Amino acid sequence: MANPTDTPAAPTRYLTGITTSGTPHLGNYVGSVRHSVRFSRQDDVQSFYFLADFHALIKVDEPARIQRSTLEIAVTWLACGLDPDKVTFYRQSDIPEIPELTWFLTCVSGKGMLNRAHAYKAQVDKNAARGEDPDADVNAGLFMYPVLMGADILMFNAHYVPVGRDQVQHIEMARDMAQHFNHLYGDHFTLPEAAIDDMVATLPGLDGRKMSKSYDNTIPLFAPKARLQKLISSIVTDSKVPGEPKETEGSAIFEIYRAFADSEETETLRRAYDDGIGWGDAKQLLFERIDREIAPMRKHYEALLADPARIELILRTGAEKARALSQPFMAELRHAVGLRNLAVRDSNDGRAKANKAARPSFKQYREADNLFYFKLLDADGKQLLQSRGFATPQEAGSAIGSLRRQPGAALAALAEQLEPVDDETMRSATAALEVLSADAASEKS
């Protein structure tokens, strides 16, 4: 079965990539790494973390920087506790199926959709504002960025992609590509969804704006202790003197402190602000608090960084694990589109379009509330039914099973577990379930 979401017991798959174009900073740690590492340790999820080095080539033309960044980011994840035995941790460029899939997806992506991608459009708008040629300084890699990202995601049939808000459009595009491909060639891809975590903080940088490579205001996560202290002492403040009460609102020092401290510590600092703590002392507290969390990992980081051959081995082992999935899946996809052994005929041809591709389907997923849901989609991916939350994937699976076997009886019995729909949608849903139950009957015979 190409699409593991149809199996109730399949674990939920999360996938995320990091572009290897710079050195990880405190903002990356607080906004993504810390949370992802904690999350990856849960039992019931299967996660994929990869170094998006093909993506880096779009922006960076310094080979040494790409190599260095790939090492630093890999080591950062490991030093922060990512367990490569538990997750699949790999380098994008070690998976040749990804560029191959990129081409397949290129051929099902509307050029108009790519014209609307934010990163590309921003560059075009900037050129227009300057009165330049719209495509001045735009390489085709920037234009194709969402397709490469779609291939990253669809290659491993990820259910959820944890990303920042700026990346949501890319996930929607990946979904669009998956839907279009499935419609043409049968149900091969899981439709991915963005998982946005509003709990994670965006950190202010040295100048008070969002900490970001592009503002050049970052604090490297594993800067040596003395440098960390020096950078922290350069964070902007207002000109209030010691003894004057200070505002926590809009204070970069306070915001960064809060991202590391527990609520009690944060309250203590808030009181110190009220009591007129001097900026020098506040910076010292911030330095000590960050260093307390980072120092043990920094030691680990430095040791790993000194042993690049070991990191290389870890990534190659990860690539083998990833390719155990991507190779057979790619073979299936090649067959599906007609890149085949000439001597073999597929008895499903013709039926594939008329029958398989036109089949309605169930999708199972888990929400942030930790309950398990399913949807019934028609052949075009339009939603017909939406379940309420089930406590376990088994319960959701068994509801799906009864809908497949005895649509009429199950629809009545499950009325409470389904979101209400209008009559016309219910008629479409009933028809779709009948198609599925006929399929099931013919598979048995």
State in angstroms the smallest separation of the CB of 199 from ligand TRP. 19
User: What is the three-state SS of the chain?
Assistant: CCCHHHCCCCCEEEEEEEECCCCCEHHHHHHHHHHHHHHHCCCCEEEEEEEEHHHHHHHCCCHHHHHHHHHHHHHHHHHCCCCCCCCEEEEHHHCCHHHHHHHHHHCCCCHHHHHCCHHHHHHHHHHHHCCCCCCCCCCHHHHHHHHHHHHHHHHCCCCEEECCHHHHHHHHHHHHHHHHHHHHHCCCCCCCEEECCCCCCCCECCCCCECCHHHCCCCECCCCHHHHHHHHHCCCCCCCCCCCCCCCCCCHHHHHHHHHCCHHHHHHHHHHHHCCCCHHHHHHHHHHHHHHHHHHHHHHHHHHHCCHHHHHHHHHHHHHHHHHHHHHHHHHHHHHHCCCCCCCCCCCCCHHHHHHCCCCEEEEEECCCCCEEEEEECCCCCEEEEECCECCHHHHHHHHHHHHHCHHHHHHHCHHHECCCCHHHHHHHHHHHHHHHHHHHHHHC
- Structure tokens, 142: 């920037």
Q: Which is nearer to ligand TRP, 161 or 400 (CB)?
A: 161
Among 15-23, 289-297, 298-306, 386-394, the segment contacting ligand TRP (CB under 6 A) = 15-23
CB of 4 to ligand TRP, least distance (A): 18
**Count of chain residues binding ligand TRP (CB under 6 A):** 12
Contact 165, 198 (CB under 8 A): no
Where does this chain touch ligand TRP (CB under 6 A) — which range of 11-19, 71-79, 197-205, 265-273? Answer: 11-19
Nearest residue (beta carbon) to ligand TRP: 17
x/- map, 59-98, ligand TRP, by CB under 6 A: ----------------------------------------
Instruction: Choose, by CB under 6 A, the member of 3, 5, 12, 16 that binds ligand TRP.
Output: 16
Closest distance of CB 208 from ligand TRP, Å: 23
Which one, 149 or 235, has the nearer CB to ligand TRP? Answer: 149
CA 15, CA 65: separation in Å to the nearest integer?
25
Of 163 and 429, CB closest to ligand TRP? 163
Minimum separation from the CB atom of position 161 to ligand TRP (A): 5
Least separation in angstroms between residue 15's CB and ligand TRP is 6
Q: Which of 5, 12, 19, 123 binds ligand TRP (CB under 6 A)?
A: 19
156-215 positions binding ligand TRP, by CB under 6 A: 161, 163, 167
**Cβ proximity to ligand TRP, 18 vs 228, nearer residue:** 18
Closest CB 39 distance from ligand TRP, rounded Å: 14
* Nearest distance, CB of residue 32 and ligand TRP, angstroms: 9
- Of 123-152, which residues contact ligand TRP (CB under 6 A)? 149, 152
User: 22 or 381, CB closer to ligand TRP?
Assistant: 22
At its nearest, how many Å lie between ligand TRP and the CB of residue 254? 27
Sign of the Cα torsion 31, 37, 42, 48 reads positive
Based on CB atoms, which residue is closest to ligand TRP, 149 or 252? 149
Q: Across the chain, which distance is largest between two alpha carbons, in Å?
A: 86
Binding window for ligand TRP (CB under 6 A); candidates: 14-22, 56-64, 211-219, 224-232:
14-22
Q: Smallest distance, Å, CB 273 to ligand TRP? A: 34
Kindly write out the interface string for residues 25-64 of this chain, putting x where it contacts ligand TRP by CB under 6 A and - elsewhere. Answer: ---------------------------x--x---------
Chain residues that interact with ligand TRP, rule: CB under 6 A: 15-17, 19, 52, 55, 149, 152-153, 161, 163, 167
